[in-house]
Structure 1
Amino acid sequence: MKKTVLIFDDDVNILELCSIILTECGYEVATSETSHNIIEKVIETNPDAILMDNWIPDIGGIEATRILKKHPDFKHIPVIYFSANNDIKSLAEKAGADVHLAKPFDLEDLENLIKSLLEK
């Protein structure tokens, strides 16, 4: 059964690029350009991992990640916090994300990070 990755990012180019790469790696990919109705989106897609942008519209990546990590049904889903922000590490920690990935990122780093999280 294919693993699903849900990507939250308001940059359509990033969504498209990540979708192509992850689909080629054998994952199902779902995307969202906002963090609006985040719980409903996670219920709908049932992801095995989430890529969360810091600057996602509506509530933002930090709050969106916190909501997921507080939810008893979703707190186990690994969240990769990704942003071009200089203090990505502290933002990811503040949000409660599992790991972080600085933009721009190497596509191989993205693949390896998701693979390592999903094989745990």
Structure 2
Amino acid sequence: MTKRIHVLEDDGDIRYIIEYLLKDEGYELQLSSSVSELKSKLRDSLPDLFVIDVMLPDGNGIEICDDLKSDMFTRHIPVIVMSANPRSKQMSSQVCADDYISKPFDLDDVVNRINNLLVKRTA
């Protein structure tokens, strides 16, 4: 069964790179560029994993991660937080993010981290 990943990233270039990379790996993608768009899409279906940027036009990825991990319907879904700000790593662990990716990122590392979290989830 194809795994679905929801990517919340406001930078169109980064979103495109992640989309291309993960589709090439066989994943189904949901893409959002804002918190409001994410919330709207979550009404339709839940993904198997979230990749969330911290700096967003209408919110903060750390707070979104905290909301997802506090909600009974989404707390079981792995969340990867991405940021160029080194302080975000500590903050993401405080809200129970499953992993943290520092920008700029290595493409192979992103794929490996996503694969590892999805394997853990299905095991």
TM-score range, shorter chain: over 0.9
Q: 1:78, 1:44 → 2: CA distance?
A: 18
Once the two structures are TM-superposed, the CA of residue 86 in structure 1 deviates from its matched residue by 1.8
Residue pairs, 1:1-120, within 5 angstroms: 1-36=1-36, 38-120=38-120
Q: Which amino acid aligns with 1:62?
A: I
Question: Are the equivalent residues in 2 in contact too, given 1:82–1:102 (CA < 8 A)?
Answer: yes
Per mean C-alpha deviation after superposition, the further-off stretch among 108-117 and 33-42 is 33-42
Once the two structures are TM-superposed, the CA of residue 91 in structure 1 deviates from its matched residue by 2.2
Give me the TM-score of the superposition, normalised by structure 2.
Answer: 0.91
Deviation sequence 1:80-113 (CA, Å, 0-9, x none):
0001112232121233211100000000000000
Corresponding residue pairs, total? 120
Q: 1:88, 1:67 → 2: CA distance?
A: 16
- Label 1:45 to 1:16 Cα distance change in 2 as closer, same or farther (>3 A): farther
Question: Are the equivalent residues in 2 in contact too, given 1:52–1:80 (CA < 8 A)?
Answer: yes
Q: Structure 2 unaligned runs (5+)?
A: none
Q: Which amino acid aligns with 2:55?
A: W
Question: Are the equivalent residues in 1 in contact too, given 2:8–2:38 (CA < 8 A)?
Answer: no
Question: Are the equivalent residues in 2 in contact too, given 1:4–1:49 (CA < 8 A)?
Answer: yes
- Label 1:10 to 1:97 Cα distance change in 2 as closer, same or farther (>3 A): same
Aligned residue for 1:119, secondary structure, equals helix
Question: Are the equivalent residues in 2 in contact too, given 1:38–1:64 (CA < 8 A)?
Answer: no
Question: Are the equivalent residues in 2 in contact too, given 1:78–1:98 (CA < 8 A)?
Answer: yes
Q: 1:91, 1:85 → 2: CA distance?
A: 10
CA RMSD of aligned residues (A): 1.3
Give me the TM-score of the superposition, normalised by structure 1.
Answer: 0.93
Q: Structure 1 unaligned runs (5+)?
A: none
| Runs ≥4 residues deviating over 4 A | none
